[in-house]
Amino acid sequence: MKFLTPATTNPIDQLKVIGHATDRIDGPYKTTGTAPYAYEREAAYGYVVGAGIAKGRITSLDVAEARRAPGVLAVVTADSAGKLGKGKFNTAKLLGGPEIQHYHQAIALVVAQTFEQARAAAQLVKVKYSKEQGAYDLAKAKDGAKQHKDKENQDKKVGDFDGAYNAAPVRLDATYTTPDQSHAMMEPHASVASWQGDKLTLWTANQMINWSKGDMAKTLGIPEENVRLVSPYIGGGFGGKLFLRAEALLAALGAKAAGRPVKVALQRPLMINNTTHRPATIQRIRIGATREGKISAIAHESWSGDLPDGKPETAVQQTQLLYAGPNRLTRMRLAVLDLPEGNAMRAPGEAPGLMALEIAMDEMAEKLKMDPITFRIINDTTVDPAKRERKFSTRRYVDCLRMGAQRFGWDKRNPQPGKTRDGRWLVGIGMASAFRNNLVQKSAARVRLDAQGVVTVETDMTDIGTGSYTIIAQTAAEMMGVPLKQVVVRLGDSDFPVSAGSGGQWGGNSSTAGVYAACVKLRELAAQKLGLDPTVAEFAHGEVRADGRAFPLIQAAANGELVGEDAMEYGDLDKKFQQSTFGAHFVEVGVDAATGETRVRRMLAVCAAGRILNPKSARSQVIGAMTMGLGAALMEDLVVDHRAGFFVNHDLAGYEVPVHADIPHQEVIFLDETDPVSSPMKAKGVGELGICGVGAAVANAIYNATGVRVRNYPITLDKLIAKMPDF
């Protein structure tokens, strides 16, 4: 499919359906409980047994008593499963034994007729271990951390950072930390597996259907065409369901062993210790500037940890692109830790990276005696600072700052910390930049037109609560000139054309671009069937018009269904342009002068993210991301037991996330923007941009309220109270 379409001939630019605030078409199914989630199928029940140590070996695994328990149909272990491969996207083995790589690594599955029978029998599995000493403390492992072998994770240097930094008249050198965090989505990791001969069907909660289909086939050692994944509805993912996980593999193995369909859902403690999490970071930022506020040198170094085959948390990537400065250094180091796998969580890299960088920018502005927004505007850039020949496709970063400042009342902020009171509350206002790279992925779709005039879209794209069903329907309706009610969308099935999937903020723009491509094919077929020139044919109001003639669209399928299938590809687009999304977050907090309790009072996000395909669902995405950012700033912290090597607060009672009472009024503004470079939709991603910078905006507001600078997240009252001003 040719990528760029002239604006005059791009049907999306009509904006009859696209760009309008539209109710989610899947909403009625979810609110009435009729949307089928992965676990909601009849099957025998599997219960996962997790390892009781973090590192070592199983010396004996006795399942005899469990096998004899009432209702038990099968017990699966590494021995009974036989040789298993390892998928491309898994750092640890999904079924452990005899080696144990992390706490709660799955080591057995008990299958029974009822859930209660499976759970009771699982308690009868007897395991003995030989423990080994593991590494669980990032701070202690930091000095032994190493550079990762992958090219994209190497040190990046521009100019002479050391020389420029040492010569700078104004300098900052500060270290910040972010903790391990959990995805904490509502729906657990859940799968139902069924075999028909040598073919496996897996109903699962998964964001990337094609990735996981390939990994399942590789792990089981069977042809990829023998695996079908189905995932039409997902109850939240945030990156935690990007990859094949233990419950999916064990459901498949359990179904094979039991000779019937088997369902497996991870209990909450295993979700936190068995699956992936956002890894903790230690980040050092150095900035050198002229007395006029121009950055002359900037360095961002980050340390994180993971299992031996893991990768670093890419917390420095926004610093490579967000601010100008001729002398630059970014560096990442990875420590080997024997904790559960660290991997993608909403806005990996930028979310924790901006939590540090955007405090540092405020600290530097204070050293310069300069307004924080002015300091950021002075250091704006229109090109990639490391590759100055590569321009941003669009960059309305400064517009976001200025609009946010005007809307939030920044001019009324007292820049002197600790001077604004509302009774017992110390009141402060803070801001931070938002930045997230805009990624595009190849995405395909199939579009059908039947004799009733119904347009059906099929693609393996997933909807993790992001509104994929609706924006895909809007795209097809716009392209084919039919009302939204005449479009049927079928998602999340590996039998459908391979889409971009849901991840990396690329899903909405890329998947709709794939639907656009398929609709172009269908338009050509329909016009030809009606004897019209496809290059000039207009599709509107259920008709096809060209050269003064008009025919009902339905007539094109009178002699049989028409099917258009195609994909959108991007070639070397990323080499020609730097594509990024921008924004600004503004936060007002109140901090109790006696107790140090922080309450967020107001939040504003201003976003520049290309064309907004559905403002209603896009706003929902951004306020959800803002909520996650607030949680990261004030409460979220997976506490590591450094002796035993596991996350202590591995449930939703101990792992605190924001609730309704924590969330104030949230306002979201989308700049009126299109990006013709990004795709024919002229859109960009927005669902992860909303979390980027929120934590730092909260931290900066707390400093403005109290004069206490906290560089270690989360900002809990114990870190404030000892340094608070007198009541």
Q: What is the pLDDT of residue 336?
A: 98
Q: Which of 187, 358, 458, 688 is catalytic?
A: 688
**How many degrees, rounded to 5, is the angle at CA 185 between CA 341 and CA 74?**
70
Looking at 274, 292, 324, the residue that finishes a domain is: 274
**Is residue 341 in a domain?**
no
Residues 562 and 622 placed together within one structural domain of the fold: no
**Is residue 259 in a domain?**
yes
Residues 621 and 705 placed together within one structural domain of the fold: yes
Residues 124 and 202 placed together within one structural domain of the fold: yes
Residues 247 and 198 placed together within one structural domain of the fold: yes
Residues 606 and 500 placed together within one structural domain of the fold: no
- Flag whether pLDDT at 115 surpasses 90: yes
Q: What is the pLDDT of residue 181?
A: 98
pLDDT, tens digit, 9 for 90 and up, residues 697-714: 999 999 999 999 999 999
Domain extent, residue 213, equals: 44-132+183-274
Residues 557 and 626 placed together within one structural domain of the fold: no
Residues 450 and 435 placed together within one structural domain of the fold: no
Residues 71 and 217 placed together within one structural domain of the fold: yes
Residue with tokens 């997230």: 436
- Flag whether pLDDT at 727 surpasses 70: no
**Is residue 148 in a domain?**
no
Q: Quick one: average pLDDT of 637-664?
A: 97
Eight-state DSSP code of residue 501: -
Q: How many domains does the chain have?
A: 3
pLDDT, tens digit, 9 for 90 and up, residues 137-180: 999 999 999 999 998 899 999 999 999 999 999 999 999 999 99
CA–CA separation, 442 and 609 (whole Å): 19
CA–CA separation, 353 and 267 (whole Å): 31
CA–CA separation, 587 and 605 (whole Å): 9
Please, are residues 702 and 428 in contact by the beta-carbon 8 Å criterion?
yes
Please, are residues 328 and 157 in contact by the beta-carbon 8 Å criterion?
yes
Residue with tokens 């971009």: 500
**Is residue 288 in a domain?**
no
pLDDT, tens digit, 9 for 90 and up, residues 388-423: 899 999 999 999 999 999 999 999 999 999 999 999
Residue 398 amino acid letter: V
pLDDT, tens digit, 9 for 90 and up, residues 335-386: 999 999 999 999 999 999 999 999 999 999 999 999 999 999 999 999 999 9
**Average pLDDT along the chain:** 96
Residues 455 and 517 placed together within one structural domain of the fold: yes
- Of 380, 401, 362, nearest to 585 (Cα)? 401
Residues 84 and 31 placed together within one structural domain of the fold: no
Q: What is the pLDDT of residue 725?
A: 79
**φ and ψ of 399, to 5 deg:** -60, -40
Residues 30 and 55 placed together within one structural domain of the fold: no
Q: What is the pLDDT of residue 726?
A: 76
Q: pTM of the full predicted structure?
A: 0.97
Residues 704 and 718 placed together within one structural domain of the fold: yes
- Flag whether pLDDT at 4 surpasses 50: no
**Is residue 583 in a domain?**
yes
- Flag whether pLDDT at 606 surpasses 70: yes
pLDDT, tens digit, 9 for 90 and up, residues 43-72: 999 999 999 999 999 999 999 999 999 999
- Flag whether pLDDT at 194 surpasses 60: yes
Looking at 274, 308, 334, the residue that finishes a domain is: 274
pLDDT, tens digit, 9 for 90 and up, residues 568-592: 999 888 888 999 999 999 999 999 9
CATH code for the domain of 644: 3.30.365.10
Looking at 569, 591, 615, the residue that finishes a domain is: 569
Q: What is the pLDDT of residue 577?
A: 93
**φ and ψ of 113, to 5 deg:** -70, -30
Active site residue 688: yes
Eight-state DSSP code of residue 207: S
Please, are residues 295 and 289 in contact by the beta-carbon 8 Å criterion?
yes
3-state SS assignment for residue 546: strand
CA–CA separation, 219 and 195 (whole Å): 16
**Is residue 15 in a domain?**
yes
